[in-house]
Amino acid sequence: MQAFINQYGGQILTKSTEHLYISAVALGLGILVAVPLGVLLTRLPKIASFVIGVASVLQTVPSLALLALMIPLLGVGKVPAIVALFIYSLLPILRNTYIGMKGVDRNYVDVAKGMGMTNLQSIFSVELPIAIPTIMAGIRLAAVYVIAWATLASYIGAGGLGDMIFSGLNNFQPPLIFAGTIPVVIIALVVDFLLGLLEDRMTPAALRKEE
């Protein structure tokens, strides 16, 4: 074990940092786009199914094919990988945001209107807090997807733990495969756990008591 750490420790740390950076930026962009869009679609029901359908179609594109399509558009490196992973993160977050917002009891919305709240105030003060558990479930799912799929980003020169995995596969070196795979699993579990803690903190106390 000590020899393994001495041999691969520095490389694991460097590649894990790259992997986490690519995943975090892609997920962050996904949240910034998909959550507001999901909220907006609850106010535009006529186009909601179309937009969610488009996101679903994008999700079905094979990951390697999507990464390959990024090369003529954006070249190689981290930028095309982040764009591809961002596209993959959209559907779970968008769908769960839409479902969560639509699932808010209309009585709460009526009460907010009765108190004189504007549409925007109702969204931020009433509907989003109630929908947080559903939205966070989508974000957690997207995070695990993105971290797993980020291993393929090494095919277009983005770096990350995929470099070690595919180097091990190409050179028949199982230690390299384990050195790349185990950190991916650990990162995914830790990120999911931390997002779960964040979900608990963001969920209104009244809803936590009901659970």
pLDDT band at residue 36, thresholds of 50, 70 and 90?
very high
Contact between 130 and 141 (Cβ < 8 Å): no
Fold held by 2-210: MetI-like fold (1.10.3720)
Per-domain residue ranges of the chain: 2-210
pLDDT (average), residues 99-127: 84
Residue among 162, 135, 125 at smallest CA distance from 146? 162
Whole-model pTM?
0.89
Tell me the backbone φ, ψ of residue 131, rounded to 5 degrees: -85, -5
Given a cut of 90, is residue 9 above it in pLDDT? no
Say what the pLDDT of residue 2 is.
66
Residue 118: phi, psi to the nearest 5?
-75, 170
